[in-house]
Amino acid sequence: MANPQDIQRRIKAAKNIKQITRAMQFVAASKLRRAQDSTLAARPYSEKIDEVLADVAAVLGSEDHPLLADPTGSKRLIVLITTDRGLAGPLNTNTIRYVAREIVEHPGEMAIVTVGRKGRDAMRRTHVPIEAHFAGFGDKPTFADVLPLARLITEDFLSGDYGRIDLVYSRFISTLAQKPVMVQLLPIQPSPDTEGIPGNQFIFEPSPAAVLEQLLPRYVATRLFQAVLEGRASEESSRMVAMKNATENAGELIDDLTLAYNKVRQSNITREMIEIATGARAR
């Protein structure tokens, strides 16, 4: 028979856990609103610059800017964005499995740049070379935070170290849904909608090279910043749901333990009454 004191200790521990997970749920909910607003506000700009660069890449070539050139290297670089902290449900696991499946299905010479401790730790276990690691940029990432990362991968591509650079992150869909995705960051792919359209329909001032010199590096940084924002919103929404589920599970455990405690206590009282009655009858 279970010891009532042990059950009481388990009830107390479950109540403490419930308080912690409930507090973390409310903290994540408050952070989610800010992260969600930032992500949704930045999406139109990120999507529009994608469209502009895809159209430009269809009519310009390597003579205008090297970021539009066909890849010279055969090595591939994957930028993996995860979180620094855990307790975010299946978010990091799904993203890491996604990139692991991509590595297995497309073998070859490859390296990884990780953003976030969880991705770095996972890639170390797979023995994939890690070229660089960046922290998760905190609760309020800024555009300036991603500039060193954008500069690193741009220089690596221009130097010919890599022929393709992909970006893997968790896209925020809703509070209950986050989806790992992969996009090709470099080289920039022409838009299929502009195929066959003459390049003289675009007017560049002062010149295509001057425009691209400013636009292409900003495109890379903008794409990375949007991915970081998407990952941030996904992290807080996933953590809020995970802590909500943990709080509910703790409450169910407390109810079960309380019921078990009452049964043991009632059984002990009944046994003591029987012993008293038996002793009185023996006299």
Least confident stretch, 209-218, 235-244, 260-269? 209-218
What would the pLDDT profile of 209-234 be if each residue is shown by its tens digit?
777 777 788 888 999 999 999 999 99
What is the model's pLDDT at position 2?
67
| pLDDT surpasses 80 at 61 | no
Least confident stretch, 7-21, 59-73, 103-117, 213-227? 59-73
- Mean of the per-residue pLDDT values for the chain? 84
Give whole-number Cα distances, 20 to 17, 245, 255, in Å. Answer: 5, 13, 18
**Domains along the chain?**
21-242 (3.40.1380.10)
What would the pLDDT profile of 92-102 be if each residue is shown by its tens digit?
999 999 999 99
- Cα torsion angle, 120, 243, 227, 107, sign: positive
What would the pLDDT profile of 25-45 be if each residue is shown by its tens digit?
999 988 888 888 888 988 888
Whole-prediction pTM:
0.83
Residue 204 pLDDT grade (very low, low, confident, very high; cuts 50, 70, 90):
confident
End-to-end CA distance of the chain: 30
Percent of the chain scoring above 70 in pLDDT: 87
Burial of 273 (C-beta count, 10 Å sphere; 0-12/13-18/19+): exposed
Burial of 70 (C-beta count, 10 Å sphere; 0-12/13-18/19+): exposed
| pLDDT surpasses 60 at 196 | no
- Cα torsion angle, 253, 259, 262, 267, sign: negative
Residue 63 pLDDT grade (very low, low, confident, very high; cuts 50, 70, 90):
low
| pLDDT surpasses 50 at 199 | no
Edge-to-edge strand list for the sheet holding 76-81: 130-134, 110-115, 76-81, 164-174, 177-186
* Beta partners for residue 181, in sequence order: 169
